[in-house]
Amino acid sequence: MTTSTTATSGKHVPLPVREYRAGVHDQSRDIMTAWMGQLKDATRGSTPSAYLMISGNCVEILRCFDILPVFPEINALQLAIRKKSLPYILKAEEIGYASDNCAYVKADVGFTLSGGVGPEGNIPVPSLIVCNFVGCNVYIKWFEHCAAMFNAPLVMLDIPFIREDRPSPEDVRYVMAQLDELIRRCEALTGRKFDIDRLREICRYSARAEAGWSRCKELCKHRPAPFDAYFDSINMMGPINALRGTKEAADFFDTAVAEYEQMVAEGRGVLPEERFRIVTEGPPPYPYYRNFRNLFETWGAVAVQSTYSTVGGTWEFGFRHDPDRPLESIAEQMLVHNLCNRTMTDRYAQIRRYVDEWHADALVIHSIKSCRLFSAGQGDMREYFTRELGVPTLMLESDLEDPRYYAEAQMKNRIDAFFESLQYKRIRECAART
């Protein structure tokens, strides 16, 4: 363990690394496991299913027709966090994928080619592929390839990127017309008529979950923060993105809010001692999730906000699905209220707000090779925060899926050096005050 100093004692005492297991984690695991059980059952049953991506998704519409949503990104994430991604990545590279292609796609494709999707696997062959092109261009390629592999119909939902202050009327009409198209395809697939009252009910559940999500994030403004808004957010990202619109997800967030409010009331934080408050940008290295977390925990560093947790939606800034305007609000969510469909400079503004309103000491950028949507240009982001705003910023590089890009020793050196310098900065500031 690197030795450094604390502001008070002059010595860096590494914090004990502990397994964080609160009720939120257990409940998240339970409801996500139940959903995965449904996916497994559907591999041999007749329940219709549809592929969908996470960013600014319209899961409410699928749910309205009882079409089981399947998220290849979650599949890829789980392969990585269980340290199973590499063989599938290599399998995909065998058929021509490049080392420079997004490893999420490669792991998912490799998994499919290995029989993971279908009657012998864990994921049903999709009846429909809903390509919600919300920011990430790779989504289009990924789903084109899936449509070819499964010979499944693809519905394109082309969501215009936010390139003015707000979407134009034509942007909105274009998205609405495509949602209508999706509804017609769902009707044809299921043989059921679209029921807008059912959609209203689903949007009511969505709004309840979003309010809970927002409240949880709000609670991280407290010192100490009741959970790590980067590492622990993953437990909430599954329910908010994949299970949104269900009673289970809404109930889950009610419970999460209650638990975190209690922690705040008791002055308990996620770590025994919160020494640094950071904002984190970029997805985590899932193949080494625990190791990576430990590198921060040992310094008492807690993420009080993260951009990654907002790929699905930026609900902490107030947006809710609206049962009175269900389709319109779904369109607004896809167009405006998610991180992926907004510019890099919009993201700078989001992070700046996080640093200011969540009282962060520093920004940590985790730059990943796979996802250029996140990473391309993060050097400029570092310039902006370090030089123009004076926010201490650390930039790290690895990958969210491919374990070959994670170098633990190098990562540790950089993280230790960064927090040591923050520590000394505090000592100097302390000394100057006295």
Partner 1 sequence: MSFDEIVQQCRDLNELLPAQALEQARQSRPGLEGFAVFPVYAPVEIIHAAGLLPVGLFGVGGKLEIVHADARFQSFICSIAKSALELFLRDEMSGFRGAVFSSICDVARNLASLVKRNAPQMFIEYLHLPQNMLNERSHEYTRAELDRFRANLARHVGRPIPDESLATSLKLYNRVRRRLRELYAFRREHPGSITAAELCTVVQAGSRMMPEDYAPLLERLLKLASQRPAHPRDSVDVVIEGAFCEQPPVLLIETIEAAGCQVRDDDLLIGWRWFREDVPVNGDALSSLATAYLTRSEYSSVRHDGASPRTDGLLQRVRSAGAQAVIFTPAKFCEPALFDYVPFIAKLDKHGIPHLKLEFEEKMWTFEASRTEIETFAESMLFE
Residue type, 413: N
Based on CB atoms, which residue is closest to partner 1, 164 or 324?
A: 164
Contacts of partner 1 in 80-119 (CB under 8 A): 95-98, 100-102, 105
Distance from C-alpha of 306 to C-alpha of 350, rounded to nearest angstrom = 10
The alpha carbons of the chain give a radius of gyration, in whole angstroms, of 22
Distance from C-alpha of 411 to C-alpha of 408, rounded to nearest angstrom = 5
Least Cβ distance, residue 184 to partner 1 (angstroms): 11
Distance from C-alpha of 90 to C-alpha of 75, rounded to nearest angstrom = 16
96 contacts: CB under 8 Å, gap ≥ 6: none
DSSP, residue by residue, 68-98: EEE-HHHHHHHHHHTT-HHHHHHHHHHTT--
Range in contact with partner 1 (rule: CB under 8 A) among 81-89, 190-198, 268-276, 338-346:
338-346
Based on CB atoms, which residue is closest to partner 1, 19 or 388?
A: 388
Q: Looking at 17, 177, 196, 430, which residue binds partner 1 (CB under 8 A)?
A: 177
Least Cβ distance, residue 174 to partner 1 (angstroms): 4
Q: What are phi and psi of 303, to 5 degrees?
A: -75, 120
Contacts of partner 1 in 387-416 (CB under 8 A): 397
H or E element: which one contains 351? helix 344-357
Q: Looking at 181, 195, 356, 357, which residue binds partner 1 (CB under 8 A)?
A: 181
Based on CB atoms, which residue is closest to partner 1, 321 or 347?
A: 347
Q: Which SS3 state, helix, strand or coil, does residue 264 take?
A: helix
Least Cβ distance, residue 301 to partner 1 (angstroms): 23
- Classify the phi-psi angles of 379: left when phi > 0, otherwise alpha if psi is within -120 to 50, otherwise beta: alpha
Contacts of partner 1 in 352-371 (CB under 8 A): 367, 369, 371
Contacts of partner 1 in 305-334 (CB under 8 A): none
Q: Looking at 34, 188, 376, 430, which residue binds partner 1 (CB under 8 A)?
A: 376
Range in contact with partner 1 (rule: CB under 8 A) among 34-42, 135-143, 280-288, 425-433:
135-143
Least Cβ distance, residue 166 to partner 1 (angstroms): 13
166 binds partner 1 (CB under 8 A): no
Distance from C-alpha of 308 to C-alpha of 411, rounded to nearest angstrom = 19
Contacts of partner 1 in 230-269 (CB under 8 A): none
Based on CB atoms, which residue is closest to partner 1, 138 or 279?
A: 138
Based on CB atoms, which residue is closest to partner 1, 171 or 274?
A: 171
Least Cβ distance, residue 161 to partner 1 (angstroms): 5
| Residues found near partner 1 in the complex (CB under 8 A) | 95-98, 100-102, 105, 131, 133, 135-138, 140-141, 144-145, 148, 154, 156-158, 160-161, 163-164, 168, 170-171, 173-174, 176-178, 181, 343-345, 367, 369, 371-373, 375-380, 383-384, 397
